A and B are shown apart, each in its own frame.
Chain A
């Protein structure tokens, strides 16, 4: 049918963004009610009459009319967006002003305003990401909980608290103040990066859900690229990283739902268009002196993307990029990935030594791929018994059936004495 992929979800974000701009961010709940109402109407009318030629315009018009209705009836009882107060007060200016606020260009800016508002410094990062998914991407609380493999109650609480902070911030973020825009931009990058990673490395076992999270992050990053200040080298780098990683998604999980690590992937399944797009963005990101963690991660992804076979990978280059990443944004996970690259370059003993030297390894204690990496390297140097113990420990930490099956296969590989296959996914 003609409504396209996830049309309702996408339109939910656009409508709520336009409505919060008009009603004011303190009326977020009212904006959400209007959106819900528009969907109910669409469902009722379209099922009898068919989908209109331009479903998106139909939904926007319905939301706009409802907004006009509310503004007319409640303008004395309720306060709306303070900066629009004068336009809303007069019947002469109301309808044209609201029509203008619902134009495609205005809505594009509204999405940015809301996205920047969601990245409020008073909100923890995970709350920012949940909020973005909920209000900008149209995921229900259940769908966010499902994507994060969290309990409904925990996510609901997180989103409710975040909405309180957002609604309490009085005004939406001012995207027309260049200094403020640049100051908030890193937080927005970080939130989109985390959203993407939740899709790419997260715990959800449903590959469709994961791909959706990646796609949403890419869609929002594209909004940044479309803005004069948002289109900064770091945004290009982040988008490059997303494209290059997303290119591998089709090969990451096979038809029977099995996880394939990078080394075992059928590289012909990689999305060539995304690779090309990613490499182009990476080149653009080199404009200017700035070197962010996204630049380095995108560069690492580009080394993999351009290696025709796993054994063609330039591991020396990967190691030096991880060295740079450790200097810029050190973390146990980065250190682990660096150790794996060193093992590829210099052999399993050197890799194991590097893993042994990781600071704060307790922060990796719950991460199944820490034990799995130890298992791979032990297996590779012929220590099948030790390797099996590591894989068993990893399996106990597995977050979903897909990871569990993968680690089961590694345990039985140890028992059979197979030494091929490999590490990071």
Chain B
């Protein structure tokens, strides 16, 4: 088994309470399914949508992230899967696609001596 990071991008701030609740129920069901199948290495964290970005030799501090709202990483999860293809298949069940979001699937590099 290998490890993969799922980076979730995109959120819908205009949904109605009912739609939000439905979205949440879908997320819970998806995470539960992944957990039941043993794919979750670490459930991860949501990330605040505001913060600071420090750049360059001058270490300039900006309000960030710069990206458009839809491109801001909203959270991450660590997944265990057979290979990249398997991890991609797993990601396809993510409810973030319902709101036009994305999942970035990145293999975690294995460090060997």
Contacts and interface: CB of A to CB of B under 8 A. Distances in A.
Given A1-B25, A3-B25, A44 B74 contact: yes
Contacts of B97: none
Nearest to B76: A48
B11 A138 contact: no
Nearest to A45: B46
A215 interface: no
B24 A46 contact: yes
Interface stretch (B13-21, B58-66, B83-91, B104-112): B13-21
B13 A138 contact: no
Nearest to A49: B43
A129 B16 CA distance: 18
B18 A43 contact: no
A338 to B, nearest CB: 39
Contacts of A51: 24, 28
Interface string B1-30: 000000000010101111111011101110
B21 A44 contact: no
A48 B75 contact: yes
A3 B16 contact: no
Nearest to B47: A44
Interface residues of A, number: 26
Interface residues on B, range: 20 to 34
A277 interface: no
A140 B13 CA distance: 13
Interface in A1-21: 1, 3, 6-9, 11-12
A36 B16 CA distance: 8
A1 B28 contact: yes
Nearest to A7: B21
A176 B28 CA distance: 43
Chain A interface, >50% SS class: helix
Contacts of A142: 16
A50 interface: yes
Contacts of A6: 18, 21
Contact of B44 (A8, A40, A42, A48): A48
Contacts of A39: 15, 17, 20
Contacts of B18: 6, 8-9, 138-140, 143
Contact of B28 (A12, A45, A46): A46
Given A45-B46, A47-B28, A8 B17 contact: yes
A1 B30 CA distance: 12
Contacts of A43: 11, 20, 23-24, 27
B16 A50 contact: no
Interface in B38-82: 43-46, 74-75, 77
Given A39-B17, A140-B18, A47 B24 contact: yes
Contacts of A143: 16, 18
Contacts of A139: 16, 18
Nearest to A10: B17
Query: Taking each of B15, B21, B44, which has the highest tally of chain A beta carbons within 10 Å of its own beta carbon?
Result: B21
A251 to B, nearest CB: 26
A240 to B, nearest CB: 29
B51 to A, nearest CB: 14
Contact of A3 (B19, B21, B43): B21
B17 A42 contact: no
Given A6-B18, A8-B17, A51-B28, 8 more contacts: A3-B25, A8-B20, A43-B20, A44-B74, A45-B46, A47-B28, A48-B44, A140-B19
20 contacts: A3-B24, A6-B18, A6-B21, A8-B20, A8-B21, A9-B16, A11-B17, A39-B20, A40-B20, A43-B20, A44-B11, A46-B24, A47-B27, A47-B28, A47-B75, A48-B31, A48-B46, A139-B16, A140-B17, A143-B18
Interface of B: 11, 13, 15-21, 23-25, 27-29, 31, 43-46, 74-75, 77
